[in-house]
Amino acid sequence: MNWALGPAGTAMIGAWLHHRPVLAFDFDGTLAPIVAEPAAAAMADTTSALLRRLALRQPCVVISGRSRVDVGLRLAGIPVSEVIGNHGSEPWLDPEPLRRWTGQAILFLRTHLARLAGVELEDKGISLSVHYRRAFARAAVITAVQQAARCLSAGALIRGKYVINLLPPTALDKGQALLRMMGQLAQTHAIYVGDDATDEHAFTLGRRHGILGIRVGHRRGSQAALYLKQQSEIDRLLTLLGNG
């Protein structure tokens, strides 16, 4: 992985920008810094202004694990081409079968995790998140959620930063959502920026699908081609993308 803001990284980004790519971003940890209270997550004013300017010039998409409504409110009217929620399932899939699974799953999880203090369940309508930042027995939480996922026949279990996401069996992932968005916009190339395990579904698509992955935070084994050293570099990246 090369640093996205170094000479090799900027040259690679510049070459991709010649294709007028879709510019796709995760929200938490990418456009907005990670915070202890997920409800308090917000972009910096400078980030918001840079993203607004960029979205007026070329297709921008936000793909988040949050619900589509939740992310849309946090974008405060920035004219992105699409807001994709619940790890890729919104707005592509019929929500009713997913909601039925989620409704049953959250009842099971409340019972299964009741003995573990500091765990917070987040019902996002068509997916679930188990937050365990405040849990003392974090290893026990992870084990219990893995057991529950098997019992529930979850479509995917994706670990993030003190959170485990459970997706219904038919749910889409971020990579699938990005490919659908590229098709809808008739674009052959995309740049995808994300910071978490959920974003690896997009990173792994790589050059063979015309996707340049940029990971926020260097991680050994990531399939992203480039990385930012930390989330605070997002404004420099947005400026670079806008000047391409």
- Mean predicted confidence (pLDDT) in 127-156: 93
What whole-number distance in Å separates Cα of residue 53 and Cα of residue 208? Answer: 30
Give the residue among 164, 157, 169 at the shortest CA–CA distance from 98. Answer: 169
CA angle 27, 32, 33 (to 5 degrees): 125
- Rounded CA separation 218/228 (Å): 7
Looking at the structure, do residues 9 and 77 belong to the same domain, yes or no?
yes
Domain end position, chosen among 148, 167, 186: 167
Shared domain for 101 and 191, answered yes or no, is: no
Residue 110 has pLDDT above 80, yes or no: yes
45 is catalytic: no
Task: Examine the fold and report which residue of 130, 151, 167 is the final residue of a domain before the chain moves on.
Answer: 167
The rounded distance, in Å, linking the Cα atoms of 55 and 49 is 10
Is residue 118 domain-shared with residue 239, that is, in the same domain? Answer: no
Quick one: DSSP state of residue 86? G
Sort residue 110 into left (φ over 0), alpha (ψ -120 to 50) or beta: alpha
Q: Provide the domain limits for residue 104.
A: 95-167
How many CB atoms are closer than 10 A to CB 228? 23
- Mean predicted confidence (pLDDT) in 69-90: 94
In sequence order, the β-bridge partners of residue 83 are 62
In this predicted structure, the answer to whether residue 244 has a pLDDT above a threshold of 70 is no
How large is the average pLDDT for residues 224-235?
98
The pLDDT, as a whole number, for residue 130 is: 95
- The yes-or-no verdict on residue 14 having pLDDT over 70 is yes
DSSP class of 171? -
Let me know whether 74 and 137 are in one domain.
Answer: no
Confidence of residue 147 (pLDDT cuts 50, 70, 90): very high
Q: What is the mean pLDDT of residues 16-33?
A: 97
Catalytic residue among 26, 28, 195, 196: 26
Domain CATH code at residue 136: 3.30.70.1020
**Could you tell me if 6 and 81 lie in one domain?**
yes
Locus of tokens 């806008």: 242
Residues 6+ apart with CB under 8 A from 1: 215, 218, 222, 224, 225, 226, 227
User: Is residue 233 located within the same domain as residue 116?
Assistant: no
Q: What is the pLDDT of residue 113?
A: 95
Phi and psi angles of residue 69, each rounded to the nearest 5 degrees, phi first = -65, -45
- Average pLDDT in the chain: 94
Task: Count how many domains the chain has.
Answer: 2
CATH number at residue 37: 3.40.50.1000
Task: Please report the pLDDT score of residue 55 as a whole number.
Answer: 97
Examine the pLDDT at 67 and tell me if it is beyond 70. yes
Q: In the chain, pLDDT over 70 holds for what percent of residues?
A: 100
The pLDDT > 90 percentage for the chain reads 85
Task: Please answer whether residues 76 and 48 qualify as being in contact, where contact means their C-beta atoms are separated by less than 8 angstroms.
Answer: yes
Q: Is the pLDDT of residue 39 over 90?
A: no
Phi/psi at 234 (5° precision): -60, -35
* 79 & 184 share domain: yes
Please compute the mean of the pLDDT values over residues 149-178 and round it to a whole number. 91
Domain-ending residue, one of 139, 167, 195: 167
User: Is 120's pLDDT higher than 90?
Assistant: yes
- Run of H or E including 184: helix 174-184
Pairing of strands 120-123, 82-84: unpaired
